[in-house]
């Protein structure tokens, strides 16, 4: 009698174990690297470019799909007419546990110039989703506003103490008409998908009328609040023309 009960419970255990081994894969796949033309930062492309995407994908059991989502990251202000922007949404099947997905992305021409964003996600065969990877790039079409900063010289590395201010000298020009400029000093967090944890300086100016062919920065003063956290920040400077093109200038600032 006892033996039978033990035998039954061993059977039950064996059956539970076998259920466990049939259980779905619970580990999400991982994007090991993602590049456009072999690079993953400071990316700039032109309208009409053929751009090579390469994504190294890995999963513990079996890869399922890769999802590509490309869209503009314009600031959403509605004035100025909005021409066609580059969007792309694709899903491709993957297999195996380790692969490098490659595809040539064809930038449209004509296309609105400005900042764009390619977001990548993986699914494994069991449906687990990876963390996303993002590739930010600036697309040019030749008629976007041109931003020229003559002082300070950011190429040498620029430090500023919190509580201090510095002057930005330079000019912005456009072939037809400038509509708006935005200047920010901000800190980007990891996985920041369009959000910035801390913007410590913000300047926004609308430029209306066809006379605004050029805008002289003169000496625009940028103040770093004394409450700012020390660390690396991005100076983000965007100028929008009346056709909706954005010219983008970025530089690194170290707040000490
Ligand atoms: Ca998995
Ligand atoms: Ca223009």
Ordered per-residue pLDDT tens for the chain, 256 residues: 444 444 444 444 444 444 444 578 999 999 999 999 999 998 999 999 999 999 999 999 999 999 999 999 887 654 445 568 999 999 999 999 999 999 999 999 999 999 999 999 999 999 999 999 999 999 999 999 999 999 999 998 899 999 999 999 988 999 988 999 999 999 866 544 545 568 999 999 888 766 667 777 877 899 999 999 999 999 999 999 989 999 999 999 999 9
Tokens of 168: 């930005």
Give φ, ψ of 192 to 5 degrees: -85, 0
Ligand showing the shortest atom-to-Cα distance for residue 59: 1
Q: How far is the CA of 63 from the centre of ligand 1 (A)?
A: 7
Q: What's residue 7's pLDDT? A: 46
Q: How far is the CA of 180 from the centre of ligand 2 (A)?
A: 12
**Domain ranges for the chain:** 30-140, 146-255
Q: What's residue 144's pLDDT? A: 96
Does the domain at 30-140 match CATH 3.40.50.980? Answer given as no
Q: How far is the CA of 175 from the centre of ligand 2 (A)?
A: 5
Q: How far is the CA of 71 from the centre of ligand 1 (A)?
A: 28
**Which CATH code fits 146-255?**
2.60.40.2550
Tokens of 36: 């456009």
Contact 139, 45 (CB under 8 A): yes
Contact 86, 138 (CB under 8 A): no
d(CA 83, CA 62): 41
DSSP string, 227-256: TPPSEEEEEEEEEEETTS-EEEEEEEEEE-
Q: What's residue 104's pLDDT? A: 98
**H-helix or E-strand containing 49?**
none
């Amino acid at each position: 009698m006892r033996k039978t009960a033990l035998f039954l419970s061993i059977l039950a255990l064996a059956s539970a174990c076998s259920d466990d081994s049939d259980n779905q894969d619970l580990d999400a796949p991982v994007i090991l690297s993602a590049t456009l033309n072999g690079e993953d930062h400071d990316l700039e492309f032109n309208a009409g470019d053929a751009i090579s995407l390469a994504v190294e994908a890995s999963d513990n059991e079996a890869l399922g799909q890769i999802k590509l989502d490309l869209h503009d990251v314009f600031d959403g202000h509605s004035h100025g007419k909005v021409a066609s922007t580059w969007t792309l949404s694709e899903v491709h099947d993957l297999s195996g546990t380790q692969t490098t997905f490659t595809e040539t992305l064809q930038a449209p021409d004509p296309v609105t110039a400005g900042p764009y964003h390619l977001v990548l996600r993986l699914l494994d065969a069991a449906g687990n989703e990876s963390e996303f990877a993002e590739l930010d790039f600036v697309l040019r079409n030749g008629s976007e506003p041109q931003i020229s900063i003559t002082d300070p010289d950011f190429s040498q590395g620029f430090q500023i103490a919190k509580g201090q201010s510095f002057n930005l000298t330079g000019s912005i020009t456009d072939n037809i008409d400038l509509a708006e400029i935005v200047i920010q000093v901000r800190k980007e967090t990891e996985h920041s998908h369009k959000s910035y944890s801390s913007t410590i300086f913000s300047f926004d100016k609308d430029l209306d009328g066809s006379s605004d062919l050029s805008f002289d920065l003169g000496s625009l003063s940028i103040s770093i609040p004394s409450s700012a956290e020390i660390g690396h920040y991005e100076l983000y400077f965007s100028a929008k023309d009346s056709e909706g093109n954005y010219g983008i200038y970025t530089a690194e600032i170290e707040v000490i």
